[in-house]
Amino acid sequence: MNDPVIKVRALETRFGDNVVHQGLDLDVHRGEILGVIGGSGTGKSVLLRQIVGLLEPSAGEIEVLGEPVRDTSPEAFVRLRRRWGVMFQGGALFSSLSVRENVEAPMREQMDLPEDLRRTLAAIKVRMVGLPENAMNKPPSALSGGMRKRAGFARAIALDPEIVFLDEPTAGLDPIGAAALDSLVAQLRDALGLTVFLVTHDLDTLHAICDRVAVLAEGRVLATGTLAELRELQHPWLQEYLGGPRGRAAIGAG
Ligand SMILES: Nc1ncnc2c1ncn2[C@@H]1O[C@H](COP(=O)(O)OP(=O)(O)OP(=O)(O)O)[C@@H](O)[C@H]1O
């Protein structure tokens, strides 16, 4: 197996008395879609924010694409940061900017491009995520929830990243919109060779597109594997999550 593109070792996270991670290890492999699941408050979003350098862990090592995320020079971090894109919960678009300007924002911030080239590249990204041409100049507030997510995705791939981090991409979407977004993630992974780190509660997403799933519980990654492998484990939360009515429905087991 190739070296992991994301490598987390002995991660500790404490907020005062709240111990969130305690000895968490995780590997993410190039080209895979890894789903990250766990009960509410197990630290999925915190882990994502730590991997992308937005939050400092209490202890531990994080490497992305072979480079340390912590204790690195600001210049090295800026270079590394260009190699991933993030879609936060809800899309997190700038409300005062149009879709096009939102997609251009990372290009403005991190690349020195002539304006017409930047516009052309933004238009390509917007088309790639399946948004209509006329969405380009609209503010996020004029779009549906699904379209806003797509715009957030377009922004996440603005710099042609190698890794995309998605925090609950289907949350708040109706089942048809959620399935369409799942397909988009899988299509773009295939077309662009992305590695995808995907925090989700959505059982359908896990079934539809995740190659492997990492389970956060008890402050660590309790297990990683395919859903079939995880279903064999006897952990109570996993049994309830995957074996409960919604978990069974997602695999068509009624
Ligand atoms: N900046 C912060 N300061 C203090 N505590 C925080 C901070 N960010 C997160 N936490 C705490 O860390 C824990 C994990 O939060 P996190 O948002 O990662 O959970 P999660 O697994 O993503 O949950 P959910 O599935 O509900 O979104 C929670 O107890 C939360 O209150």
Q: Kindly report, residue by residue over 51-83, the tens digit of the pLDDT.
A: 999 999 999 999 999 999 988 898 999 899 999
Q: Is the CB of 51 under 6 A from ligand 1?
A: no
**Token code pair at residue 126:** 């917007």
Question: What number is the average pLDDT over the span 136-146?
Answer: 91
Work out the burial of residue 89: count CB atoms within 10 Å of its CB; fewer than 13 is exposed, 13-18 middle, 19 or more buried.
Answer: middle
Residue 147 has pLDDT above 60, yes or no: yes
* Segment 16-57, tens digit of pLDDT: 999 999 999 999 999 999 999 999 999 999 999 999 999 999
Q: What is the pLDDT of residues 95-133, one digit of tens each?
A: 899 999 999 999 988 888 888 999 999 999 999 999 998
**57 CB under 6 A from ligand 1?**
no
Ligand 1 centre to CA of 244 (Å) is: 25
Task: Read off the pLDDT of each residue in 170-193 and give the average, rounded to a whole number.
Answer: 91
* Residues near 224 by beta carbon (within 8 Å), at least 6 away in sequence: 26, 27, 34, 212, 213, 214, 215
What is the pLDDT, as a whole number, of residue 240?
Answer: 86
Q: Is the beta carbon of 44 within 6 A of some atom in ligand 1?
A: yes
Strand order in the sheet with 84-87: 84-87, 163-167, 195-199, 33-38, 212-217, 220-225
58: Cβ contacts below 8 Å, ≥ 6 apart = 12, 13, 14
Backbone φ, ψ for residue 12 (5° rounding): -125, 135
Residue with tokens 């978990």: 247
Percent of the chain, pLDDT > 70?
A: 95
**Among 162, 167, 157, which Cα is nearest to 107's?**
157
Residue of 8, 14, 15 best suited for mutating to test ligand 1, as the one with most atoms within 8 Å of CB: 15
- Residue at 193: amino acid letter: G
| Spacing, Cα 46 to ligand 1 middle (Å) | 6
**Which pairs with CB-CB distance under 8 Å and at least 24 residues apart come from 124-129?**
125/154, 125/155, 125/157, 125/158, 126/99, 126/100, 126/151, 126/154, 128/154, 128/157, 128/188, 129/153, 129/154, 129/157, 129/184, 129/188
Q: Is the pLDDT of residue 246 over 90?
A: no
CA 46, CA 54: separation in Å to the nearest integer?
9
| β-strand partners of 85 | 164
Q: Whose CA is nearest to atom 8 of ligand 1?
A: 46
Ligand 1 lined by 41 (C-beta under 6 Å):
yes
- pTM of the model as a whole: 0.93
Residue 15, ligand 1, Cβ within 6 A: yes
43 lines ligand 1 (CB under 6 A): yes
pLDDT value of residue 6: 98
Domain ranges of the chain: 6-83+161-250, 95-160
147 Cα to the center of ligand 1, angstroms: 27
Report how far apart, in Å, the C-alpha atoms of 192 and of each of 18, 25, 113 are.
39, 27, 22
CA-atom Rg of the chain in angstroms: 18
* Residue 89 pLDDT: 80
Q: What is the dihedral of CA 76, 186, 91, 43, to 10 degrees?
A: -70
Contact by Cβ (8 Å): 236, 230: no
Class of domain 6-83+161-250: alpha beta
Interface pTM (ipTM) of the complex? 0.97
Residue 73 CB-density burial (10 A; 0-12 exposed, 13-18 middle, 19+ buried): exposed
Mutating to test ligand 1, I would choose from 44, 49, 58 the residue with most ligand atoms within 8 A of its C-beta, which is 44
Digit-coded pLDDT (tens) for 149-177: 999 999 999 999 999 999 999 988 888 88
Q: Using 50, 70 and 90 to split pLDDT, how confident is the model at 194?
A: very high
- In this structure, the strands spanning 18-28 and 33-38 are unpaired
The three-point CA angle 200-201-202 to 5° equals 90
* Ligand 1 atom nearest to CA at 13: 12
Vertex 90 angle, CA 109 and 62, to 5°: 60
Task: Tell me which residue has its CA closest to atom 30 in ligand 1.
Answer: 41
Q: Report the pLDDT averaged over residues 194-213.
A: 94
Q: What is the model's pLDDT at position 185? A: 94
200 lines ligand 1 (CB under 6 A): no
d(CA 148, CA 129): 11
CA of 217 to the centre of ligand 1 (A): 13
